[in-house]
Chain A
């Protein structure tokens, strides 16, 4: 199974400041079709997960442009350019390149 490791597991950020979450996979996430199926999810308290970023760097419909994704191979990053109060929650990276699909442990983002 592909292990997804997120750093940090917890982050406290001042409103308006940037935030960054790293995700590393135990093996390359490049599919045989050439696509890297790495996504980022946001889960606000009491809510289901919500897709933010798919295929490493593509923002999903309705996602603010302060969210961006980057990376390749086994190393990926989610960045929030200026954190807002509504960004509080847990962020997960997930790979759907290979079954079983796996998730990072989650990074809890809090606002200072």
Chain B
């Protein structure tokens, strides 16, 4: 059974940093591109970033480009999202996902003073 478990969310001040993790199991992790998708409170879904299976190629939404960094450790079956220079508008539940197919439960990031 595919499992994706996010962690690392929390309350952070504007301008601060946070690193999210997503532990994957139940599939060959290195074979899959991985994504982060976020959902602001009461709002819809927004794609954030994607990393290729090897980790060598990354893509970002314009809203996070230059501030967020996606990475993965295939030896640990773990996906990461390093978030710097956080803003109030980054407040959201962050999901890791294998494309549209499998989703984690999400981790809440709140950016507030």
Contact = CB atoms under 8 A, between A and B. Distances in A.
Interface residues of B, number: 19
Nearest to A105: B44
Contacts of B102: 51
A39 B99 CA distance: 10
Interface residues of A, number: 19
Interface stretch (A23-31, A68-76, A93-101): A93-101
Interface string B36-55: 00000000111100100000
Nearest to A54: B100
Given A54-B100, A99-B59, A100-B61, A48 B47 contact: no
Contacts of A103: 44-47
Interface string B49-82: 0100000000101100000000000000000000
Nearest to B98: A51
A51 B95 CA distance: 14
B101 A94 contact: no
A51 B46 contact: no
Contact of A48 (B35, B61, B95, B99): B95
A33 to B, nearest CB: 15
A51 B101 contact: yes
Contact of B106 (A48, A51, A94, A102): A48
Contact of B59 (A48, A100, A104): A100
B47 A49 contact: no
A101 B47 contact: yes
Contacts of B103: 48-51
Interface of A: 39, 41, 48-51, 54, 60, 92, 94, 96, 99-106
Given A41-B45, A100-B62, 19 more contacts: A39-B100, A41-B100, A48-B106, A49-B97, A51-B102, A51-B103, A54-B101, A60-B101, A94-B45, A96-B99, A99-B50, A99-B59, A100-B47, A100-B61, A101-B47, A103-B44, A103-B47, A105-B44, A106-B45
